[in-house]
Amino acid sequence: MKFIAFNVRQDEQPYFENWSRQNQIEVKLVADALTAASLKQVDGYDGVLALQTGSYPAAMFEHFKRCGVKVFAIRNVGTDNIDLAAAKANGVLVTNVPAYSPNAIAEFSVTQLMQLVRNTTIFRQKIAEQDFRWAPHVGKELRSLTVGVIGTGRIGRAAIDIYRGFGAKVIAYDLYPNPQLQAEGIYVDSYDELFAQADVITLHMPATATDRHLIGEKAFAKMKAGVYLINTARGTLIDTKALLAALKSGKVAGAALDTYENESALFNHDLRGQKIKDPLFKELMQQQNVLITPHIAFYTTTAVENMVLISLNSAKSVCEKGTADTVVKIR
């Protein structure tokens, strides 16, 4: 049994190497992404590990079948860019890491909101210019706000606990309500109801084809004036063009975006000295009330270790037992 892992960063290497030694299983580490050009590198391996970012070669699973790869283990949650039907057709199991650290993402989302409501980015800019005046950038307290949480899985529930700790009123919407939260009366009946009530909207849901641009022009029209929007989920949930219009009109007071709908060409790349070719992203970066981070809400030592170890153990389980607790269900 031996594995090959792609997109391996330096911070992941120690966890891969320790696991390999402890389990006496060869794991080849490749820094580059898995592409059509590098697909031949998987020949002779039982499992392939990768990150759920970017896109994969169209014929990847056919190649896996031909060379005997049994499992494709991603070190993330989402599978929206993986051709699961092709995986099933070629007999390759796909595993993910359902929960590497819900708290990491929940904590980060609250951190970003706190910066928005207390105008810290604006004050950093003012101080750099030696302008030490306060007005007119008065802040808000979380306990005075209604926070609307969309998606109440592990991450959403962790966020709810944190917001409650600040004394905020929390409402939520989920297509599949959590029974405990439902008993507490936290849920509203529709997106529209949440949009109408929330001072803050924070997204903690997966992305599907039907949810693309869930937050768009029509949704913004139903929101309170001066709403704050936090997205640590998936970039495709927000229509960026509509968001920019809402920011400029004042409908949205501030946005914290850890994901962006066209992020694959930008995030986790060193583009210093290069011109950004994406006009929407360039415009986002120019907004004083927008915080952009390159998909790093998950990025803690706890999460990185869990992502590596759970994906490796999943691949090992599939090779030894033919299944794993983390196998993605394909309809």
Residues designated catalytic: 234, 263, 295
Which residue carries 């706190």 as its tokens?
114
Q: Assess contact for 227 and 200: CB atoms under 8 A.
A: yes
Query: Residue 230 is encoded by which pair of tokens?
Result: 């936090």
Radius of gyration of the chain (CA): 21
Please, which residues bridge with residue 202 across strands?
Answer: 149, 230
Do the bridges between strand 227-231 and strand 200-203 make them parallel or antiparallel, or are there none, so unpaired? parallel
What is the spatial distance between Cα 10 and Cα 12, in angstroms, rounded to a whole number? 5
The count of other CB atoms within 10 Å of the CB of residue 263 is: 22
Q: Assess contact for 90 and 297: CB atoms under 8 A.
A: no
292: three-class secondary structure by DSSP = strand
Q: Assess contact for 49 and 73: CB atoms under 8 A.
A: yes
